[in-house]
Chains A and B, each alone.
Chain A
């Protein structure tokens, strides 16, 4: 199946710093990538939809200035958590949709711990 890669898989950062998470579609082109956040024992919460070459669409309640999303190419989207706080600690997951079609594949997720 298609492969979506996230990096880093785990990151620990200090409060107030910024962290960038990358999401790459390795063997296909994706015009649309999605960023989710997941708390323990809960379902995935969509944060934003990232479209190549345009601004991301954020879900209600998600601060766009705090969670910066860039989708510079058909194979790469990045999520930057700015001025991170301990409450931003979570599991962040990206997914990518084939350039044609509906199937969506997920990355392995990135654990962020803010200390």
Chain B
């Protein structure tokens, strides 16, 4: 259930543009997925979740898409704001009820 320590890839977007953060998960038996936002020096903050019986879920300014065929998860942020700058992690809940994190993506919003 542990994640692998990796140097984080960075996505740089202009304020007001839409952001798309991608995540590939590993376990085809995973039935629940969560996106977290982590600001510097703070714990992860829940953003949105999706169950495996869905392929899309929308929240406020955020949309999560799930493609089980290719085991791919994405987070779309509409009209990205400076306050959205953070590291974003996807997490999968597998059959053993363990939460496994992806490596994370750093989102930088340029004013």
Contacts and interface: CB of A to CB of B under 8 A. Distances in A.
Say which size band chain B's interface belongs to: 20 to 34
Contacts, number: 72
A43 B1 CA distance: 13
Contacts of B36: 106
A interface, how many residues as a size bin?
20 to 34
B58 to A, nearest CB: 17
A111 B40 CA distance: 12
Contacts of B41: 91, 109, 111
Interface of chain A, helix or strand or loop or mixed? strand
Given A44-B89, A49-B98, A93 B43 contact: yes
Interface of B: 1-8, 32, 34, 36, 41-46, 49, 89, 91, 93, 97-104
Give the top 9 A-B pairs by smallest Cβ distance, nearest first.
Answer: A42-B5, A106-B43, A109-B43, A43-B3, A106-B44, A108-B43, A46-B2, A102-B32, A43-B104
25 contacts: A4-B43, A34-B99, A41-B8, A42-B8, A43-B101, A43-B102, A44-B89, A45-B5, A46-B101, A59-B1, A91-B41, A93-B44, A95-B43, A95-B44, A102-B32, A102-B49, A102-B93, A103-B34, A104-B46, A105-B46, A106-B44, A106-B45, A108-B42, A108-B43, A111-B41
